[in-house]
Structure 1
C-alpha cells in the first residue's frame, strides 16, 4: 500500500496480530479491485521487516496444480523468514517426512505447521501466515478443506500463530467462512477508501507530471477528485487509469 493509505484497516490487522487474546484467524473480504492483495502484501512484508516469522501465499486462477502447494510454500517461507527455532523445527519435520509433498492437505498441515509450531511459548513473537485470494483457488474443494483444516487445528498451534485470509465474497466460500469463529472485516465497509484512492492517484499523477515535465498545477485538485469519484472505491480502476 502507498504510505499513508489504508491506515485504519492496517492498524486493525496489526493490532490483531499483536493481541495476546486475538482470534487465531482474520478474514478480510471485499469485491475485486478493492486492494485486498496490496493489504495482504503490506502486512506480510511489514512483519518480515520486524523480523517476525511470516509467510505469504497468493492464489491465482492461472496456477493450476500449483495452488495445492500452499502448505509446502508456507513452510518454505518459514524456513527463510522464521526465527531460528521455527526454521529448525520445520526443517526437522521435512527430514523426518521426505515424502510430505505427496501427502494429503490434512497431513501436510499437521506435519509442516502444527507439529513445528505447537510448542511455541505464549509470549513468543507472533507467527503470521497470510493466504491471499483464497477464492481464486482453482479447486473449490481444496479451498473448503483448507478452511476446515485450519478450524480443526488452530487450537493445537502455538498461541501466537495467526492466519490472515483474504477473499472476494464468493458464494462458494462465504457460507463456509461465516460458520467459523474468526475475526471478520468487510473491506467495502471500511471508511476512508475514497480519500486513499485520491492519495494513490495524486502520487501516480505526480510521477507522470515529472516524467513529462508538465506544469506544476497539473492536474487540478478537481480533476483528481473527479477520478477518485469515478473509481467507485476500486484501486484497480485507479491503477488502470494511471496507465493511460
Structure 2
C-alpha cells in the first residue's frame, strides 16, 4: 500500500500480473475495499468475459469517471460539462475517453492532497485487443501534474498488455508478478484459507454419517499440508478443492482423494490439471458414450458462449429438459456455478476450466488410476478425460446451427418484408433473453467455424443461405429495434461478410449479405450524422 500513499513516487501505474488462478482478482478486490474504507477509491472496473458489458474495454473509462463523480462534487460538475457537449463517447478510443472524462476534469479542479486510486481488474478478459492497448497507453501517459493519481491494473501477462508496458520506460510504471512472490507468505495465506473453509463447511452443513465426524481433528494437519503443497501458490486450486470437497459425497474421502495423489503425477499447467482431471473422470465414470457426448455438448455450449445464459435458455438452445441438464451439471458442482433459480446465469467458477477443456495436451488420455501405466488400451478407458475434450471450431458450429434453428422457430409466424413493429415472435422465446442472444451472437459463433473442410463448409453455407433468404429481413428488423442492437447488427453483417470472403472455391454466401451490409452501413452513417 506504500506505493498508493507515497505521493513522491512518479510511477503512477502498477501492473499486477500473473498466470490464471494466482489470486489477482482477490488482491484487486481487497485493495478496493481497503481504499474505499479510506475514501481514496476513485473508481474501479472488474472485467469479465462472462458479461457483454464487463468485457467491453470502451466502457472502462466512462464507468470509472462516473465513480469519481460520486466521490467528488467538483469533479462531477466538470464531468457534466464535458458530457453535455460530447456526443458518441462510447465510440471514442479508451485513451481519448481517459483524456476528456478523467484527466482534464481532474486537472481543472486542481491538485488533491489525498491519493486517488483507480482499479482495472482482469483487463485481459476484455476481448478487443486494440482497445486494451489504447487503455494501457492512456494510463501510461498520465501527466505529472496528477502526482497523487494511482492506477492498479491486473491481468495475465498477455501480449497486448506486455508489449504496451514494455514500450514505455520502466521508470514510469511499477510491476508486481504475483506468482513470483515469496512462496512462504502465499502458502501461509492459502493454508489459513483452506483451514477456515474446511472447518466452516463441516460446522455450517453437517452431514449424518460423514466420516469427518470420526476424525480426531478436521481437517487433518498432514492432509492440509499436502493440499498447500499441491496448490503451488495458486488460490484458484485451493478454492476449487474446497468446492470439490463440498460437493455431494463423503467429504473426508474426497479430501483424501485430492491430497494423497502420488507426487509422480504431473499437476500440469497452473497446478490445476490433476484436480480438473479428477473432477472430469469422477463425473464420467461408468457413463456410456452417449451420455458423455451429451455432457460434452452442454459443457461445450457453456464455455464457448459470448455471454452467459440462464439455465432456461440453455435448455431451449439444446432442446433438453431442465431436469436433464441439471442432472448433468450436478456432476460439475466444483467448477460450474448452477443457480437454483433458472432465470439466473450459469457460468464457470473460473476461466481456467475453459482453458483445460479446450486444450489437446491438458485434457488428454491420462488415466486417473495412479497405479495405472496410462496405456490407451488400459481397462480404465472409460475414465479417459479426453472423452470430454471440447473442440472449439466444432462446438461453435453446433452452437451457430442451434441459434439459427431457434431464430427460425421464433420468427416462424413472421414473413420477410414486415416492418419492425410487425415482427411476431413465437413463444416460448418472447419472454426470454435467448432470442436476443441468438440474434446478437450467432455471427460471432460463425466466425470461429473452419472454412477448410469442404464437406462441412457445404452444410454451413447451405444452412446460412437458407436462413438469410427466408428470415434475414426479419432478423435485421429485430436488430434495428434499438440503438444498441442496431450497432451490433452492423458488426454482425461485417462478421458474416468477412467469414464468407474466406470460403474456398465454388462456395458463396447469398447476395443478400452484401446488399444488407451496404444498406445497414449506410443507415449507420446517417445515424451518426443526424
How would you bin the TM-score normalised by the shorter chain? 0.7 to 0.9
Q: Does 1:54 align with 2:45?
A: no
What's the TM-score, normalizing by structure 1?
0.85
Moved more, 210-219 or 17-26: 210-219
Pick from 122, 127, 133 the counterpart of residue 138 of structure 1: 127
- Residue equivalent to 1:73: 63
Moved more, 28-37 or 157-166: 157-166
- Residue equivalent to 1:159: 147
- Residue equivalent to 2:90: 101
- Residue equivalent to 2:180: 189
Conserved? CA contact 1:25–1:164, under 8 Å: yes
User: In structure 1, how many angstroms separate the alpha carbons of the residues matched to 2:125 and 2:205?
Assistant: 38
When Rg is computed on C-alpha atoms for both structures, the one with the higher figure is 2
Q: Does 1:16 align with 2:16?
A: no
Following superposition, which runs of at least 4 residues in structure 1 exceed 6 angstroms of deviation? Answer: none
How far residue 127 of structure 1 moved from its aligned partner, in angstroms, is 1.1
Decide which structure has greater strand share.
1
Structure scoring higher RCO (CA < 8 A, sep ≥ 6) equals: 1
User: In structure 2, how many angstroms separate the alpha carbons of the residues matched to 1:57 and 1:94?
Assistant: 20
Q: 1:123 to 1:104 in 2, by over 3 A?
A: closer
Conserved? CA contact 2:93–2:131, under 8 Å: no
User: In structure 2, how many angstroms separate the alpha carbons of the residues matched to 1:97 and 1:62?
Assistant: 30
- Residue equivalent to 1:171: 159
How far residue 133 of structure 1 moved from its aligned partner, in angstroms, is 1.2
User: In structure 2, how many angstroms separate the alpha carbons of the residues matched to 1:52 and 1:98?
Assistant: 30
Q: Does 1:239 align with 2:242?
A: no
Q: Does 1:117 align with 2:110?
A: no
- Residue equivalent to 1:7: none
How far residue 93 of structure 1 moved from its aligned partner, in angstroms, is 2.6
Query: Could you list the runs of 5+ residues in structure 2 that have no partner in the other structure?
Result: 207-211, 245-530
User: In structure 2, how many angstroms separate the alpha carbons of the residues matched to 1:182 and 1:38?
Assistant: 22
